[in-house]
Amino acid sequence: MSQSLAAAKALWIEVGDGVDDKSLTVFSSNKVLSALQCVIRCPCKEAQRFSDMYMKPIVNAILDQQVDRNEKDTNKTIAAILRTSIDIATKELTNPCNTKKCSTLEALGSIFDKKKAYYGDSESSGNPQVRVDMIMRFGHSSHKGFHLLAKRLNLASSEFPNIDTLHFLLLATIDASFVLSLDEAPRRISRATMDHLLGEDDLTKYPTQYLYLVRHDLQRLCKKLSLSTPQLMSEFNQFWRSLTLKLIKSESQQHKLFGLKEIEYLIDACRLPEAYIVKGAGYEFVNGRYEISPLVISNGCVSAQTFTYERTSDCGKKLILQPCLMTEPGKSHCDVWFYLSSSTTGVDYYFHETNPNEEQAVPLLGWRCIGGSKHPPPTLEQSSNTVPFKDEKGNLEKQLNKWAVENDVYGIILGSIHL
């Protein structure tokens, strides 16, 4: 054992030096894989130091470059390094004594960053499925990574990860909630994150672009989880208003302006267009006015988080305009696309590959034809009339107005006009 530990220590020093001076080809080096495997086999302070210092640089060195999926040996080594990194992070999360900032979470965030060059996409000969595989490994019943992450984030004595890492962890949690049908751990993660942000005395230490991303991640996650836990969407809406209030009261001009922009988003989230008008589609029967489905209306408000629009054409075809969850390999497992389809036969005519940052609203431009559909694809217009949204606590618009009055939001905004 002493000889193997001595060999491991020597290997950690060699690999660490190679990473520092960039003399080691990380992504194709079996030494890197062996060094990470030794962290698991030989737990000691030197192993902890090596993973703390070098796991994130190793992961980034791998993922910040493109590797053709046909380079099988290289990709096999990369996958093994990433799997081992997942195992190290999971093991660190299981340590009940380790309530300090979990440095390997930063590496975990890099592994879950879908924009890394290595992942690319299916069309560019990248390796997007590897990211999905790593999420599934972390969340598998043998690891229970998301449950451990939720436990860590809910520890009062534990430091939260950096906000950029938090964004990547939330994206992975969203994906896991779909592909692994997780509910409890994502709920605890979302609630811990909301409590953490509202408990922060100084939000100005966070860049506004990441505050937006994390808020948006939480919105998407709570929207999905509200299917089984309806009150979670009410909790998110209350969090969103409270966070916005902290921002518009900020001494930072940048954060104050960001808070004012969030008020615009809050207002937009209160209502949906009553209808959409589809124009210019190659299939004439697809064109026309699509009304929001009465099945999602309750007491004059939209009560469902997933909504559809529908119409009956002059020739009697029943058509729907609706969002659909896309789960095919190589894609993010939570991307929502929109489709124009037949509600009786299930035939799809046109679709829109929606950016996750824009999936809250039906896209007006950029529609495409399903293979074999008649060109051209349509464009859409939204009606000026709208229908209010509601959550478990009632009409969102009324809640927003009450919040604004009780917190003198109008006075705060007027006081900010000089900005």
* Residue pLDDT, tens place only, 330-380: 454 456 789 999 988 889 999 998 765 555 678 899 999 998 889 999 999
Q: Give residue 162's identity as a one-letter amino acid code.
A: N
Instruction: Give yes or no for a contact between 171 and 217, defined as CB atoms under 8 angstroms apart.
Output: yes
Cα separation, 154 vs 160, in Å, equals 9
More confident residue, 129 or 416: 129
**Three-state SS for 218?**
helix
Strand intervals (E) in 200-270: none
Which of 85, 75, 74, 90 is closest to 35 using CA atoms? Answer: 85
- Give the pLDDT of residue 30: 84
Integer CA distances (angstroms), 4 to 13, 17, 235, 393, in order? 14, 20, 52, 61
More confident residue, 300 or 146: 146
Q: Work out the average pLDDT over 294-301.
A: 88
Q: Kindly report the number of other CB atoms within 10 A of residue 279's CB atom.
A: 12
- What tens digit of pLDDT does each residue of 257-288 get? 999 999 999 999 999 999 999 999 999 999 99
- Give the pLDDT of residue 348: 92
Cα-Cα-Cα-Cα dihedral of 132, 138, 142, 146, to 10°?
-120
Of 304-308, 384-388, 412-416, the range with the highest mean pLDDT is 384-388
**Location of structure tokens 């440095």:** 103
- Give the pLDDT of residue 356: 59
- Give the pLDDT of residue 330: 46
What average pLDDT does the chain have?
87
Kindly report which listed range (95-104, 107-116, 327-336) carries the lowest average pLDDT score: 327-336
For CA atoms 11, 17, 18, 19, the dihedral sign is: positive
Dihedral class, residue 34 (left if φ above 0, else alpha if ψ from -120 to 50, else beta)? alpha
Residue 110 has pLDDT above 50, yes or no: yes
- Give the pLDDT of residue 333: 45
Composition of the chain by helix, strand, coil, percent to 5 = 50, 15, 35
Q: Work out the average pLDDT over 47-61.
A: 92
Cα separation, 316 vs 318, in Å, equals 6
Residue 123 has pLDDT above 80, yes or no: no
Which of 298, 355, 349 is closest to 321 using CA atoms? Answer: 349
- What tens digit of pLDDT does each residue of 226-251 get? 888 889 999 999 999 999 999 999 99
**Three-state SS for 323?**
strand
- Give the pLDDT of residue 141: 78
User: Could you give the angle at which helices 145-153 and 163-179 cross, rounded to 10 degrees?
Assistant: 140
**Location of structure tokens 């305009």:** 321
More confident residue, 3 or 190: 190
- Give the pLDDT of residue 299: 85
Which of 332, 210, 158, 49 is closest to 149 using CA atoms? Answer: 158
DSSP state of 330: T
Strand intervals (E) in 353-416: 368-369, 379-382, 386-388, 390-391, 394-395
Query: What pTM did the predictor assign?
Result: 0.88
Q: Name the burial class of residue 59, with classes exposed (0-12), middle (13-18) and buried (19+) by CB atoms within 10 angstroms of its CB.
A: buried
Residue 415 has pLDDT above 80, yes or no: no
- Give the pLDDT of residue 209: 95
Of 35-44, 95-104, 347-356, the range with the highest mean pLDDT is 35-44
- Give the pLDDT of residue 329: 45
Instruction: Give yes or no for a contact between 90 and 143, defined as CB atoms under 8 angstroms apart.
Output: yes
Cα separation, 284 vs 71, in Å, equals 48
Q: Work out the average pLDDT over 87-97.
A: 83
Cα separation, 98 vs 102, in Å, equals 8
More confident residue, 5 or 327: 5
DSSP β-bridge partners for residue 325: 336
Which of 339, 350, 340 is closest to 377 using CA atoms? Answer: 350
CB-based contacts of 381, cutoff 8 Å, min separation 6: 276, 277, 279, 364
**Three-state SS for 333?**
coil
DSSP state of 153: H
